[in-house]
Structure 1
């Protein structure tokens, strides 16, 4: 289901691939980890300290981020050091922050996507 442009050499991502990529960014824990890694490569215990997430939670989300190709790891002695795989990811997160400056009120008011932090969805039966 890949779209191919006229010259047949360039393959564009499909809507499904884009959606799958954004699902990788859609979890607050993964975003916290990515934000921490934007400052530079870190080992798991450093990510735990910077994000206030548990070590098992960080390890689980790092596995997901590795599988998705958003982070990479390098051996550093007995530890694995994790880093953002592409500078474009850091740029994307920065662009998202800039976009939120424009659309934050609409995002906050949106009843379709609620965080799991005690917010209840609107009553649509009325």
Structure 2
């Protein structure tokens, strides 16, 4: 998907499917934490468990999701697998997101649908958001 100013303004939703999948893969806080950690260098699931304070099954499932999306890759070494970011462009995307968040101030955090307050309430309303 290439988005240039003035081009693609009438693109159908189907043309946006890959972008939707990308942003959905990064929409989970655990997966985003894993991506941020892997930006500092490769890590094993055991390393991520200790640093993020999560169960092995949780970390493994999220790493598998990121791997299936082509964002993370594994390097086997003996019985261990060291994970790293598969695409350095992902860091450019995250840097752009940080710039956008800085520019919008609290607007995103205060969003009634996806803001930080809505996340806590959505836990009690299953099925509201994917």
Q: Please give the TM-score of this superposition, normalised by the length of structure 2.
A: 0.76
Q: Deviations over 1:49-94 (max 9, x none)?
A: 2222221100000111111111000102210110000110112112
Cα distance between partner residues in 1 of 2:92 and 2:41: 14
Q: Please give the TM-score of this superposition, normalised by the length of structure 1.
A: 0.78
Counterpart contact for 1:44–1:55, Cα < 8 Å: yes
Cα distance between partner residues in 2 of 1:50 and 1:91: 24
Give, in angstroms, the shift of residue 118 of structure 1: 2.8
Whose radius of gyration is greater, 1 or 2?
Answer: 1
Residue of structure 1 in register with 2:36 after alignment: 35
Give, in angstroms, the shift of residue 17 of structure 1: 1.2
Counterpart contact for 2:49–2:56, Cα < 8 Å: yes
- The 3-state SS of whatever aligns with 2:73 is strand
Cα distance between partner residues in 2 of 1:66 and 1:91: 19
* RMSD across aligned positions (CA): 2.4
What count of residue pairs does the alignment treat as equivalent?
Answer: 111
Residue of structure 2 in register with 1:95 after alignment: 96
- The 3-state SS of whatever aligns with 1:74 is strand
Cα distance between partner residues in 1 of 2:16 and 2:119: 29
Give, in angstroms, the shift of residue 117 of structure 1: 5.3
Pick the structure with more strand per residue: 1
Runs of 4 or more, structure 1, over 3 Å off, are 114-117
Counterpart contact for 1:74–1:80, Cα < 8 Å: yes
